Amino acid sequence: MSSDYRGKFITFEGGEGVGKSTQAMELRRFLESRGVDVVLTREPGGSPGAEEIRHLLVTGGTDKWCAMTETLLHYAARAQHLEETILPALKRGAWVICDRYADSTLAYQGYGQGQNIDKILEIHRLVTGDFWPDLTILLDGGVKLGLNRARHREDLEDRQTREDRYERMGEEFHQTLRNSFLDIARKNPDRITVVDAEGGIDLIAGHIAQVICDRFFGK
Ligand code: TMP
């Protein structure tokens, strides 16, 4: 499906606080240094309408949505994001780097919140036409350190706008997520590359740049 577009679609996945946003920015810098037109975006969100839906998902009580509503809200945001941001960019030949995409729905709503995986995949086909990334980088790192980093980040934000709903779901939930992402990676070895997130920023960025070169630049 994504081969219909001229640009490449690359996603970052992983648990809380593993450094996805930092590495997404590092990758943008690396690609731009090679003359690539890059759009850096995120989910949930990444377009005006999708950001409104994001607010419903990342704030408030941890049990305010049932698993199906939560799944559908993520897919409502994703439909809007694809339409407004991702597909137009890919069509004009830009490369899109996205901080989270559908693997997060499989891990969080599927493995984590108990939504049936086949149903999520069915919704994925219906909403996106079975649109998957050309490459997914799964950053894998320790849950405790990641949650602490994410919580520290949230502490710096205003109480009213804190986006910590998922972080408050508890350590056990987040340990399940780590294993879930690794399981999803094992099932999709051609699309997903696992990168060890426990190292310095430059070391990890170098590893990711190598993966990109091997995959897309032939060296
Ligand atoms: P962020 O903190 O990486 O911006 O993501 C916001 C939260 O949304 C994060 O805790 C993971 C969660 N999430 C899901 O539960 N399902 C999804 O499909 C996506 C994209 C994110």
Assign 149 a pLDDT band (cuts: 50, 70, 90): confident
Specify the ligand 1 atom closest to the Cα of 21: 3
Could you tell me the pTM of the whole model?
0.95
pLDDT at 219 over 70: no
60 compared with 219, residue with greater pLDDT? 60
187 compared with 219, residue with greater pLDDT? 187
pLDDT at 4 over 50: yes
Contacts of 172-178 with C-beta under 8 Å, sequence gap 24+, read 173/112, 174/15, 174/16, 174/143, 174/146, 174/147, 175/143, 176/111, 176/112, 177/15, 177/107, 177/108, 177/111, 177/112, 177/143, 178/15, 178/140, 178/143
Position 3 scores a pLDDT of 53
Position 143 scores a pLDDT of 85
Position 122 scores a pLDDT of 98
- Residue 64: phi and psi, rounded to 5, are -75, -20
Nearest one of 95, 139, 134, 140 to 215, comparing CA atoms: 134
Looking at residues 132-148, what average pLDDT do you find?
91
Q: Which of 41, 104, 139, 184 to mutate to test the pocket of ligand 1 (most atoms within 8 A of CB)?
A: 104
pLDDT at 201 over 80: yes
User: Which regions of 100-218 does DSSP assign to beta strands (E)?
Assistant: 135-140, 192-196
| Three-point CA angle 117, 120, 124, nearest 5° | 140
CA–CA distance, 96 with 42 (Å, rounded to integer): 10
Position 142 scores a pLDDT of 86
196, amino acid identity: D
With tokens 């199906």, the residue in question is 68
CA–CA distance, 123 with 41 (Å, rounded to integer): 22
Containing H/E element for 40? strand 38-42
Specify the ligand 1 atom closest to the Cα of 99: 3
Assign 189 a pLDDT band (cuts: 50, 70, 90): very high
Looking at residues 8-30, what average pLDDT do you find?
96
4 compared with 111, residue with greater pLDDT? 111
pLDDT at 1 over 50: no
Beta bridge partners of 137: 12, 193
pLDDT digit string, tens, across residues 47-89? 999 999 999 999 999 999 999 999 999 999 999 999 999 999 9
Position 212 scores a pLDDT of 97
- In contact, 9 and 16? CB cutoff 8 Å: no
Q: How far does the centroid of ligand 1 lie from the alpha carbon of residue 54, in Å? A: 9
Looking at residues 169-191, what average pLDDT do you find?
95
151 compared with 102, residue with greater pLDDT? 102
pLDDT at 130 over 50: yes
Top-tier CATH class for 2-217: alpha beta
Q: How many CB atoms lie within 10 A of CB 218?
A: 6
Q: Kindly report the protein residue whose alpha carbon is nearest to atom 13 of ligand 1.
A: 104
Nearest one of 36, 21, 41, 28 to 98, comparing CA atoms: 41
From the CB of 104, is ligand 1 less than 6 Å away?
A: yes
